[in-house]
Structure 1
Amino acid sequence: MVAVLSCGCAAVETAEPPAHPPYTQQPIPSGAAVAPPPASTAAAPDCGDPTASLRPFPPGETPASPALDRIRERGRLVVGLDTSSNLFSFLDPATGTIEGFDVDIAREVARDLFGDPQRVDFRVVAAKDRVPALQAGTVDIVVETMTVTCERRAQIAFSTVYFEARQRVLAMRGSGVESAADLDGRRVCTVVDTTNLQHIQQVQPAATVVTVQNWADCLVVLQQRQVDAVTTDDSILAGLAVQDPNLEIVGPGFSYEPYGVGVNKADTDLVRHVNGTLERIRTDGTWQRIHERWLNVLGPPPPPPTPRYED
């Protein structure tokens, strides 16, 4: 707006000072960025069934092997995970301990190695660092809502599937976002270097995708209205939704996300050991108890995923 002053001469226009904003904008989390378009449309590598893994050892057998002997000599199982995935792996503020569905899965692996589920050292590993951590040997296994894909199987080994999720959308109630289709021209958050980023760019290429380092950061930018929605697996979205009653999971699932335990490709006997643990907890009711403890927000526990083996 301008003001015109009459002074018996030529009109002089003076701009009014801009109004101060009613509040200071919150900074975005460190490492947040707008994702570039996909580099190419090349087809993903084909490895057959990526969820097929190595058969477990026969019950009661724990053979000597370089990988298992290394862990037994150390006396601890070193597990990579993420502490920002509420319900799966998070830091309990009341106890100061790491808890969740993935944590309990890792403890069952340690139980079968040592007879003690507490003999675990947890290392916080960002999503982008999961594969490098396994390749470098800084962790023995990664239990971190990690989807089994052919691309990842070219770099690391996986256990059989221990949880099945579907990618969906999380939005503010009443926002008008009811599915991925409504993200045309809007901003959506996901974590960098995840299958979720690939899928949302395929399903809704007209969305602006903001990538962050962890799921807690996605919750922050959604609450600060810096994005219109978050997209990831429904299991992870449930953990975000229980932290804020203004949020709701919307729309149908648009991708299949089978979770596997990541292992270094050279540690085949460790893969078999992990698969033995997963087979045990599927049959003795432990898997269902872990699901009821952490994921009752998703409803009654379904049957555990059926294992597939390649040998």
Structure 2
Amino acid sequence: MKKLLAPMVVILLAATACGSGNYEATQIPPKVQPSQAAAAPPAAQPNCGNPLESYTPEGAMPQPLAMPDGSYMEKIQQRGRLIAGVSADSLNLGARNPITGKIEGFDIDMVKAVAKAIFGDENKIELRVISSPQRIPVLKNEQVDIVARNMTINCARWKQIAFSAEYYRSGQRTLVPRDETATSIKQLAGKTICAPAGSTSLDNLKKENPGAVPITADTDTGCLALFQSGKAYAITGDDTVLAGDAAQDPYAKVLKERFSDEPYGLGMSLKHPEFVRFVNQVLAQSKADGTWMASYNKWLAPALGKLAAPPVAVYGRTP
């Protein structure tokens, strides 16, 4: 029988109390009103094309503190900090370290790389904790400059915001007890499997294994609590999230099988294509010089395994 691990860790990681300091402190943006969150999207574009196609970088990378005149990067430089929307409870992606009080993870490293390219200092950032439903509204309302919160690139979202080139290829996988011998979610018929309510993960679960017994929680953290209390036998969702779950439970493991593709992009406003091009330059540089791989190996490789190379960027979209 699987040993139970007290859910104290989950509660600790879900806390989002503000820390101290200057730009390292998390600041929660004003509450998004229902009318904003439910606003009708812009008129549909005739053809999205390839959703992974982003704006092509142009020219040489500008030196830190020497951003082009009139660019959005210059506005950020003059402000003195990059404002980013992030998670604070997604372990290994964006989570508050209970010892230092700082938010850290793979997504945070992407934001730091952008800040370093603008200021020459990766700490010139203000991290604002946002929920998944807030990701698009805070960009459209210009409450943040960039969102780094495990957001999948797709055509529907391109109608409202702009995306960087792909910075990570996630996919749906399954977390099970460490002594489980199954290698596929299809082999877990009759088992209770948790996925967040209203998620594509829940839809995919029903398609992949109609014989499973779905159970839901409002959040990924809620699914982990159900798993640790024995109410859910397994969890299914993005492999990045499951990697964080596995790190909190030594009696759990993530199956190697991946049955969907979820390409992540950094979100930005459609109003500033020059900023998207700049961020694409930053990502290309981090992939080329090994910075991206070092971050992946630190935060995600222990649970998800080694990668041969970062995802390849696709360019050619025009504003």
How far, CA to CA, are the matches of 1:46 and 1:178 in structure 2? 39
Structure 2 distance, partners of 1:67, 1:228, is 48
Query: Are 2:301 and 1:300 equivalent residues in the alignment?
Result: no
Distance in 1 (CA, whole Å) between partners of 2:107 and 2:184 is 28
Q: In 2, are the aligned partners of 1:107 and 1:118 still within 8 Å (CA)? A: yes
Q: 1:175 Cα deviation (Å)?
A: 5.9
Report if aligned partners of 1:127, 1:192 keep a CA contact under 8 Å in 2.
no
Describe the shift of the 1:158–1:185 C-alpha distance in structure 2 as closer, same or farther (beyond 3 A).
same
RMSD: 2.6
What amino acid sits opposite 1:266 in the alignment? K
- Partner residue of 2:25? none
Report whether the alignment pairs 1:94 with 2:95: no
Of residues 85, 88, 91 in structure 2, which corresponds to 1:80? 85
Secondary structure in structure 2 of the residue aligned to 1:94: coil
Q: What is the distance in 2 between the residues matched to 1:71 and 1:123? A: 16
Q: Secondary structure at the match of 1:160?
A: coil
After TM superposition, give the deviation of residue 299 of structure 1 in Å.
Answer: 3.1
By percentage of residues, which structure has more strand?
1
* Distance in structure 1 (CA, Å) of the matches to 2:181 and 2:261: 25
Q: Distance in 1 between matches of 2:195 and 2:150?
A: 14
Question: Contact conserved, 1:158 with 1:261, CA < 8 A, in 2?
Answer: yes
Distance of 1:100 and 1:55 partners within structure 2: 27
Tell me the alpha carbon deviations over residues 276-311 of structure 1, each in whole angstroms, 9 at most, x when there is no partner.
Answer: 110111111211221222223133342111110024
Aligned twin of 2:168 = 163
Residue in 1 that maps onto 2:18 = none
1:246 and 1:135 map into 2 onto residues whose CA distance is 42
Answer yes or no: is the 8 Å Cα contact 2:183–2:257 preserved in 1.
no
Residue correspondences, number: 270
Cα distance in 2 for partners of 1:76, 1:194 equals 34
Q: Is the 8 A contact 1:147 1:195 kept in 2?
A: no
Alpha-carbon deviation of 1:151?
1.8
Specify the structure having the higher radius of gyration (Cα). Answer: 1
Q: Secondary structure at the match of 2:313?
A: coil
Equivalent residue number for residue 22 of structure 1: none
Aligned residue identity for 2:171: R
Indicate the residue corresponding to 1:57 in structure 2: 58
Distance in 2 (CA, whole Å) between partners of 1:166 and 1:197 is 13
2:114 equivalent in structure 1: 109
Q: Which runs of structure 2 are paired with 1:1-311 in the superposition (5 Å)?
A: 47-61=48-62, 62-65=67-70, 67-174=72-179, 178-182=183-187, 184=189, 186-192=191-197, 194-205=199-210, 207=212, 209-250=214-255, 252-297=257-302, 298-311=304-317
TM-score normalised over the length of structure 1:
0.78
CA change 1:210–1:68 in 2 (3 A) is: farther
Task: Sort the Cα spacing of 1:196 and 1:63 in 2 relative to 1 into closer, same or farther, 3 A.
Answer: farther
Larger mean Cα displacement after TM superposition, 154-163 or 127-136: 127-136
Q: How far off is 1:110 after superposition?
A: 0.5
Task: Summarize deviations over 1:52-96 as a string: whole Å, max 9, x none.
Answer: 100123223442345334322321111111122211111111211
Any conservation in 2 of the 1:128–1:192 contact (CA below 8 Å)? no
Q: Please give the alpha-carbon distance, in whole angstroms, between the structure 1 residues aligned to 2:200 and 2:276.
A: 22
**1:138 aligned counterpart, secondary structure:** coil
Structure-2 change in CA distance of 1:210 and 1:133 (3 Å) = farther
- Whether the 8 Å contact between 1:190 and 1:196 is mirrored in structure 2 is yes
- State the secondary structure of the residue aligned to 1:148: coil
Q: Which amino acid counterpart does residue 51 of structure 1 have in structure 2? A: L
Q: Deviations over 1:244-273 (max 9, x none)?
A: 121121262100111110112222122111
Deviation, 1:195, is 4.0
Match of 1:161, SS state, is: coil
Structure 1: gaps (5+ residues): 1-25, 31-44
> Which position in structure 2 is the counterpart of 1:10?
none
Aligned equivalents of 1:253, 1:134: Cα separation in 2: 30
**Cα deviations by residue, 1:162-191 (Å, 9 ceiling, x for unpaired):** 111221111224567653324555543333
* SS of equivalent to 1:47: coil
For residues 186-245 of structure 1, the C-alpha deviation after alignment (integer angstroms, 9 at most, x for no partner) is: 543333565434433443455554444443222112111232321112232122112112
Q: Note closer, same or farther for the CA distance 1:307–1:193 as it changes in structure 2 (3 Å cut).
A: farther
TM-score normalised by L of structure 2: 0.76
Structure 2 residue runs of 5 or longer lacking an equivalent are 1-6, 15-45
Please say if residues 61 and 281 of structure 2, whose CA atoms lie closer than 8 Å, have aligned partners that are also in contact. no
Contact 1:222 1:228 in 2 (8 A): yes
C-alpha spacing 1:211/1:273, structure 2 compared with 1 (3 Å): farther
Q: Counterparts of 2:199 and 2:118 in 1: how far apart (Å)?
A: 30
Distance across 1 between alignment mates of 2:291 and 2:236: 30
